[in-house]
């Protein structure tokens, strides 16, 4: 009974606000899993030894770096800087959704009218130069992010009115609107010292080592080729409950490789310790040999409960040739996933069918009663098909076939004014339909080649363009592309980031995640309703309604997903006995594993 009462008080303290006790946790919908006084998260080993080294490769498609400032728009930040050096007021746990626990903040309280959130900083919190983390640093960090940071920060914090210092270690965020998710959003503000780049404009800080509070320091680097971090021996947060048993390696080293082939061969040669494999072909054919047989290298699929999110070929609606929905549907019909899955992916994947794939927020079948309550007021702005079944991606499984799909695509193109003549798909003026598919050098190139082959059967003139990560990133930030392969982060509890992905305002903000250039009043309204949801049921209904509308717009040719992380690693690590539910593989390895055998 005492435990139940304690949990209820904790939740009440989070939800009722200033008149209640400040609490060390906040949950958007439920009672926090971990009650006040918890010592560590269940999915870590609190007794994990500190020490040893971890060698890693560049974790994504970036093949170099030119800055240590992960918050500015210009340039490419070094791998690891953001996650290893910068901390936030609060952090989420990996076995629940929409919940945050104190990190830099010792406790927090939501105002009774839900229009402000106050955080009290942990007096132990220190930057890596020894200075205490103070409220003035939090305000400085917030102000720099929204005025000088990359555009997405301005979008994410759009409903925050101001950050106010209320005491040396107390800071309050005032809200413009009654946005239910804002407490979680302001809790995620990354904090850095006012002294970092004090003599430089924030967006021009490049290679000045961050003055931040995270567990690691930059030890050495070879610009664009490698970077090493060493654990701060004076790290303040070692015994903080939300950090206990985490970040156990004394050193973390990143080496950068120019392509996936070089990276895989370097792993086999022992140049680094862990690889997360995204290519089904590589996983099936390349992860074998004596070192795997002997157990020196372990090949393992780690299960997770992540929503699979969205990945696909994105069409830039800012380009006139993609503005006709019939053209977009034709482009969808040209992708033969079933053939690719058999011939290229060794039948390891399932087709993505939703923007909230693999979760209860995905739209399926006919709209539910809860969805209709949200959709009916928007009926005049919606395609009538939205009120029918949620569309599924085209299939070539019998009785369907690629030929039948291409014939359907041809008919749609003809309706849109495009016909095949003189060796190309042309409009009434004789202008051919030409576009470019932009991508970084990767295993995706062979997938694009197969897709292009089918598009050419319809008469599309398609150029497959590969470029290095920095150039592709710059072109994406400027929306200077026709079509590209993009993966959006998995979302377990969608919220304010939906404005950045789908909001009309974000479509004109360089660097935003609205890469498709979507501007739609009904979508804007559904995003508002999603963010304003106060119960899980309301959130699910709003997400499904939004998903249904987006699917009917056919703005992406969906790819595929897997419900496991494919991970190969040298057999020298300790791994917690319990797996988290919601996680990405690279951050999990870095934060929760430890060294059992030296290199």
The model's pLDDT over 308-362, given as tens digits with 9 standing for 90+, comes to: 779 999 999 999 999 999 999 999 999 999 999 999 988 888 999 999 998 889 9
* Superfamily designation of domain 2-38+87-213: Periplasmic binding protein-like II (3.40.190.10)
Q: How far is CA 583 from CA 413, 489, 579, in A?
A: 42, 11, 9
Dmax (CA) for the chain in angstroms is 80
Q: What is the mean pLDDT of residues 555-570?
A: 94
Q: Which of 242-246, 279-283, 586-590 has the lowest mean pLDDT?
A: 279-283
Give the residue from 345, 520, 355, 334 showing the smallest Cα distance to 435: 334
For residue 501, cis peptide bond before it (omega within 30 degrees of 0) = no
Give the residue from 485, 540, 227 showing the smallest Cα distance to 356: 540
Instruction: At 459, list the tokens.
Output: 């008469």
Q: What is the mean pLDDT of residues 163-171?
A: 98
- Give the separation between CA 521 and CA 217, rounded to whole angstroms: 46
Residue spans of the domains in the chain: they are 2-38+87-213, 251-306+565-595, 316-561
Write down how long the chain is: 599
Q: Which of 104-108, 409-413, 465-469 has the lowest mean pLDDT?
A: 465-469
3-state secondary structure 257-301: CCCHHHHHHHHHCCCCCEEECCCHHHHHHCCCCHHHHHCCEEEEE
Instruction: At 242, list the tokens.
Output: 């939300």
* Beta-sheet pairing, 556-558 with 311-315: antiparallel
Q: What is the pLDDT of residue 82?
A: 96
Query: Are 276 and 569 contacting, i.e. CB atoms less than 8 angstroms apart?
Result: no
Query: Spelled out in words, what is the top-level CATH class assigned to the domain 316-561?
Result: alpha beta
- Give the separation between CA 185 and CA 577, rounded to whole angstroms: 31
- Give the separation between CA 432 and CA 540, rounded to whole angstroms: 43
Q: Give Cα 83 to chain centroid, integer Å.
A: 13
- Distant-in-sequence, close-in-space partners of 165: CB < 8 Å, separation ≥ 6: 135, 136, 138, 139, 171
pLDDT band at 441 (very low <50, low <70, confident <90, very high): confident
Q: What is the pLDDT of residue 7?
A: 35
Helix, strand, or coil (residue 17): coil
Whether 10 shows a pLDDT value over 60: the answer reads no
Give the residue from 574, 492, 591 showing the smallest Cα distance to 83: 591
Other CB atoms closer than 10 Å to residue 2's CB: what's the count? 6
Q: What is the pLDDT of residue 9?
A: 32
pLDDT band at 12 (very low <50, low <70, confident <90, very high): very low
* Beta-sheet pairing, 424-426 with 564-570: unpaired
Q: Higher pLDDT residue, 28 or 425?
A: 425
**Residue 289, Ramachandran bin (φ over 0: left; ψ between -120 and 50: alpha; else beta):** left
Instruction: At 119, list the tokens.
Output: 């955080």
DSSP 208: S
Query: Are 171 and 138 contacting, i.e. CB atoms less than 8 angstroms apart?
Result: yes
- Give the separation between CA 546 and CA 525, rounded to whole angstroms: 9
Q: Which of 60-74, 123-137, 361-375, 456-470 has the lowest mean pLDDT?
A: 60-74
Helix, strand, or coil (residue 215): coil
Other CB atoms closer than 10 Å to residue 147's CB: what's the count? 11
Q: Treating both helix axes as pointing N-terminal to C-terminal, what angle do 444-457 and 402-415 enclose, rounded to 10 degrees?
A: 60
Whether 4 shows a pLDDT value over 70: the answer reads no
- Give the separation between CA 518 and CA 501, rounded to whole angstroms: 9
Q: What is the pLDDT of residue 377?
A: 97
- Rg of the chain over all Cα atoms, to the nearest angstrom: 25
Q: What is the pLDDT of residue 21?
A: 57
3-state secondary structure 174-203: EECCCCCCHHHHHHCCEEECCCCCCCCCHH
Instruction: At 149, list the tokens.
Output: 């940071």
- Give the separation between CA 108 and CA 96, rounded to whole angstroms: 19
Instruction: At 177, list the tokens.
Output: 């609107």
- Distant-in-sequence, close-in-space partners of 367: CB < 8 Å, separation ≥ 6: 375, 386, 387, 544, 545, 548
Q: What is the mean pLDDT of residues 149-159?
A: 90
Residue-by-residue DSSP string for 413-460: HHHTT-EEETTEEE-TT--B-EEEEEE-SSTHHHHHHHHHHHHHHTT-
Share of the chain above pLDDT 90, in %: 79
- Give the separation between CA 573 and CA 595, rounded to whole angstroms: 5
Give the residue from 312, 369, 304 showing the smallest Cα distance to 337: 312
Helix, strand, or coil (residue 303): strand
The model's pLDDT over 177-201, given as tens digits with 9 standing for 90+, comes to: 988 889 999 999 999 999 999 989 9
Strand ranges across the sheet with 483-487: 461-466, 434-439, 483-487, 311-315, 556-558
Q: What is the pLDDT of residue 546?
A: 98
């Amino acid at each position: 009974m005492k435990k139940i009462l304690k949990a209820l008080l904790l939740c009440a303290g989070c939800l009722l606000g200033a008149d209640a006790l400040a609490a060390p946790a906040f949950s958007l919908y439920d009672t926090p899993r971990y009650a006040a006084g918890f010592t560590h998260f269940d999915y870590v080993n609190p007794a994990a030894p500190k020490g040893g080294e971890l060698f890693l490769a560049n974790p994504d498609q970036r093949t170099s770096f030119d800055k240590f400032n992960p918050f500015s728009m210009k340039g490419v930040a070094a791998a690891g800087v953001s996650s290893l050096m910068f901390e936030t007021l609060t952090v989420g746990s990996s076995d629940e959704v929409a919940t945050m626990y104190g990190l830099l903040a010792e406790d927090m309280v939501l105002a009774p009218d839900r229009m402000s959130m106050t955080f009290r900083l942990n007096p132990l919190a220190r930057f890596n130069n020894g200075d205490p983390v103070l409220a003035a640093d939090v305000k400085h960090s917030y102000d720099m992010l929204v005025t000088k940071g990359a555009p997405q920060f301005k979008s994410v914090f759009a409903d925050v009115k101001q950050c106010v210092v209320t005491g040396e270690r107390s800071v309050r965020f005032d809200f413009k609107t009654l946005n239910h998710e804002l407490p979680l959003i302001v809790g995620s503000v990354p904090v850095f010292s006012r002294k970092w780049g004090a003599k430089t404009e924030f967006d021009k800080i490049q290679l000045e080592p961050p003055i931040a509070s995270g567990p690691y320091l930059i030890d050495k680097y070879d610009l664009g080729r490698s970077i090493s971090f060493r654990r701060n021996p004076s790290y303040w947060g070692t015994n903080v409950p939300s950090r206990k048993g985490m970040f156990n390696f004394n050193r973390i080293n990143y080496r950068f490789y120019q392509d996936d082939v070089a990276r895989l061969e370097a792993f086999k040669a022992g140049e680094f310790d862990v690889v997360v494999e995204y290519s089904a072909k590589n996983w099936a054919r390349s992860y074998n040999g004596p070192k795997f047989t002997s157990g020196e290298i372990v090949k393992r699929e780690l299960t997770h409960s992540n929503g699979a999110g969205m990945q696909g070929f994105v069409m830039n609606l800012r380009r006139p040739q993609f503005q006709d929905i019939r053209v977009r549907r034709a482009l969808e019909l040209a992708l033969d996933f079933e053939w690719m899955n058999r011939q290229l992916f060794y039948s390891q994947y399932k087709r993505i069918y939703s923007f909230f794939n693999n979760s209860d927020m995905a739209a399926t079948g006919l709209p539910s009663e809860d969805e209709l309550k949200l959709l009916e007021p928007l009926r005049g702005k919606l395609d009538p098909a939205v009120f029918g079944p949620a569309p599924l991606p085209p299939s070539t499984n019998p009785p369907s076939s690629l030929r039948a799909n291409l014939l359907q695509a041809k008919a749609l193109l003809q309706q849109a004014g495009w016909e095949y003549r003189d060796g190309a798909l042309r409009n009434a003026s004789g202008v051919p339909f030409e576009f470019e598919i932009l991508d970084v050098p990767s295993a995706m190139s062979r997938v694009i080649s197969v897709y292009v082959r089918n598009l050419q059967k319809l008469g599309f003139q398609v150029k497959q363009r590969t470029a290095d990560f920095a150039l592709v990133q710059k072109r994406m930030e400027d929306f200077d592309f026709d079509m590209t392969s993009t993966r959006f982060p998995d979302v377990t509890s969608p919220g304010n980031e939906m404005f950045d992905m789908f909001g009309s305002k974000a479509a004109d903000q360089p660097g935003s995640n609205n890469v498709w250039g979507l501007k739609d009043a009904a979508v804007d309204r559904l995003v508002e309703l999603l963010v304003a949801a106060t119960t899980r049921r309301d959130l699910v209904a709003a997400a499904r309604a939004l998903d249904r509308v987006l699917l009917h717009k056919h703005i992406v040719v969906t790819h595929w997903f897997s419900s496991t992380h494919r991970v190969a690693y040298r057999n020298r690590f300790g791994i917690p006995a319990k797996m988290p539910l919601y996680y990405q593989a690279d951050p999990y390895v870095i934060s929760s594993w430890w060294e059992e055998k030296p290199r």
